[in-house]
Amino acid sequence: LFDQDSKAAQAHAAGLQALYRHCAGSLVKQIRRSVKAFDQQALAFSTIGSAAELQLDIEQAALCAAFMPEGLSVRSRDAFEQQLEAGKQRLLPQAVEIGDASHDALTTLRQLHRLLGKARSPQLLAVVADIGRQVDALVYPGFISATPLAQLPHLSRYLQAACQRLENYAGNATRDRQQAIQVDAYWQRYQQALAGGRAADELAVFRWMIEEFRVSLFAQGLGTAEKVSPQRLDRLWQSLQ
Each residue's pLDDT tens digit, 68-77 = 987 667 778 8
Q: How many CB atoms lie within 10 A of CB 57?
A: 21
Residue 61: pLDDT band (50, 70, 90) is very high
d(CA 27, CA 9): 26
Q: At what angle do helices 5-24 and 51-67 cross, to 10 degrees?
A: 100
Q: What percent of the chain has pLDDT over 90?
A: 83
pLDDT tens sequence across 190-239: 999 999 999 999 999 999 999 999 999 999 999 999 999 999 999 999 99
Q: Please choose, from the candidates 150, 131, 133, the residue with its C-alpha nearest in 3D space to the C-alpha of residue 219.
A: 131
> Which of the two residues, 106 and 78, has the higher pLDDT score?
106
If you ran DSSP here, which 8-state letter would residue 225 be given?
Answer: S
pLDDT tens digits, 2-47: 455 566 667 778 888 899 999 999 999 999 999 999 999 999 999 9
